[in-house]
């Protein structure tokens, strides 16, 4: 497994495989890998000749006062895990390699899809994501790129960008991987103390409770939202950032639940902000 830090070297390495007729699968990550990331890697390994995993904590998707500095990093541990998954190359550029002094080019998806949920709580976040993944797609000549459904809004926005800018690649979404007790895997779970870790189970419980009332026939958005709110409020330390129910295809606003919906939550425990979601068919 190669570990490559330079953009030019990565581009040449991928181009040589491309010219040899190989398909390239890219798994973009910010490192500190867990089984959720490894599910993306395994999917890429199954479907592509060459698998590249990028490990880059992207400063431009973090807002002022967010956790860019503290974000957990452990490249040698990540490399060990990726080697076992038979990844061909890890791309781990320094920040200055991706954003040299004077860098001024950004890619932004506008409209409702980027304005609600995390787009509302984290202004500029998705512009940072679409910019960095555009760069990664170009650097790695990816045929397929793998994104987790845990960041459902991110995957939808990237998919829209790829379609609208005619990027020649396919976005593959991989289901959420959960701990045995239901907590969605996230690199940020390490920030939780033991008590917060227990309380964080309310995210998945709230989603399950909402799914149940929808399956029992409830169609009113406010009623379903209230079910989730009440469940989360059972945790004394939980501070709700958002609870949203939107159209599962494009996150547009729905009046009533008549089509598949995405139930989405962001909740803080202390300084840690967790997100989770569930797609519910009707
Ligand atoms: O989901 C993430 O880890 C990041 O947002 C991504 C896609 C790697 C871009 O930095």
Could you report the per-residue pLDDT of 66-80, keeping only the tens digit for each? 999 999 999 999 999
192 & 136 share domain: no
Per DSSP, what are the bridge partners of residue 280? 261
Give the Å distance between the CA of 48 and the centre of ligand 1: 20
Handedness of CA 68, 69, 72, 78 (dihedral sign): positive
Based on the domain organization, do 156 and 197 belong to the same domain?
A: no
- Residue 151 alpha carbon, nearest atom of ligand 1: 1
Whether 205 is covered by a domain: the verdict is yes
Q: How many domains does the chain have?
A: 2
- Residue 65 pLDDT: 93
Within a domain: 68:
yes
Contact (Cβ atoms closer than 8 angstroms) between residue 202 and residue 184: no
Q: Tell me, yes or no, whether 281 lies in a domain.
A: no
What residue ranges of the chain have pLDDT lower than 70?
A: none
Distance 215 CA to ligand 1 centre (A): 33
Position 137 scores a pLDDT of 98
Centre of ligand 1 from the C-alpha of residue 30, in Å = 6
- Residue 79 near residue 90, CB atoms below 8 Å: yes
Q: Is residue 282 part of a domain?
A: no
Distance CA 261, CA 277 (A): 10
Q: Give the model's pLDDT for residue 173.
A: 98
Mutate to test the pocket of ligand 1, among 58, 128, 140, 275 (most ligand atoms within 8 A of CB): 58
Residue 158 vs residues 128, 137, 166, 167: alpha-carbon distances, Å: 11, 11, 12, 11
Helix (H, G, I), strand (E, B), or coil: what is residue 135? Answer: helix
Please report whether residue 254 resides in a domain: yes
pTM: 0.97
**pLDDT score recorded for residue 96:** 98
Distance 29 CA to ligand 1 centre (A): 5
Q: How confident is the model at residue 73, as a pLDDT?
A: 97
Structure confidence at residue 277 (pLDDT)? 98
Whether residue 48 is found in the same domain as residue 151: yes
Q: Is residue 181 part of a domain?
A: no
Same domain? For 54 and 147 the reply is yes
Of 17, 34, 37, 138, catalytic: 37
Phi, psi of 141 (to 5 degrees): 45, 45
| Residues within a 6 A CB radius of ligand 1 | 28-30, 58, 61, 129, 132-133, 151, 154
* Radius of gyration, CA atoms only, the chain: 19
134 and 244 together in one domain: no
> Which domain CATH number covers 80?
3.40.50.620
**9 token code pair:** 């070297």
What is the predicted pLDDT for the residue at 184?
Answer: 98
Whether 180 is covered by a domain: the verdict is: no
Cβ count near 110 (within 10 Å): 9
Question: Is 37 an annotated catalytic residue?
Answer: yes
Task: Report the pLDDT value the prediction gives residue 240, as an integer from 0 to 100.
Answer: 98
Q: What is the reported pLDDT for 143?
A: 98
**Structural domain span for residue 237:** 187-275
């Amino acid at each position: 497994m190669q570990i490559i830090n330079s953009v030019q070297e990565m581009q040449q390495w991928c181009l040589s495989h491309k010219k040899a007729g190989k398909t390239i699968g890219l798994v973009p990550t910010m490192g500190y890998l867990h089984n959720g990331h490894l599910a993306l890697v395994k999917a890429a390994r199954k479907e592509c000749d060459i698998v590249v995993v990028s490990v880059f904590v992207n400063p431009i998707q973090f807002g002022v006062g967010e956790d860019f500095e503290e974000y957990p990093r452990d490249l040698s541990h990540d490399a060990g895990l990726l080697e076992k998954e038979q990844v061909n190359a890890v791309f781990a550029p320094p920040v200055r390699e991706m954003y040299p002094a004077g860098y001024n080019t950004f890619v932004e998806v506008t409209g409702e899809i980027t304005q609600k949920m995390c787009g509302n709580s984290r202004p500029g976040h998705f512009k940072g994501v679409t910019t960095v993944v555009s760069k990664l797609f170009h650097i790695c000549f990816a045929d397929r790129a793998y994104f987790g459904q845990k960041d459902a809004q991110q995957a939808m926005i990237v998919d829209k960008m790829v379609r609208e800018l005619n990027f020649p690649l396919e976005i593959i979404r991989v289901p959420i991987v959960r701990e045995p007790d239901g907590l969605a895997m996230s690199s940020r779970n390490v920030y939780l103390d033991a008590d917060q870790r227990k309380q964080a189970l309310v995210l998945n419980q709230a989603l399950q409770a909402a799914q149940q009332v929808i399956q029992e026939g409830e169609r009113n958005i406010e009623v379903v939202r209230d079910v989730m709110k009440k469940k989360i409020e059972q945790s004394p330390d939980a501070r709700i950032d958002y609870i949203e129910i939107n159209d599962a295809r494009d996150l547009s606003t729905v009046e009533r639940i008549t089509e598949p919906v995405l139930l989405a939550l962001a909740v803080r425990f202390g300084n840690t902000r967790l997100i989770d979601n569930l797609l519910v068919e009707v």
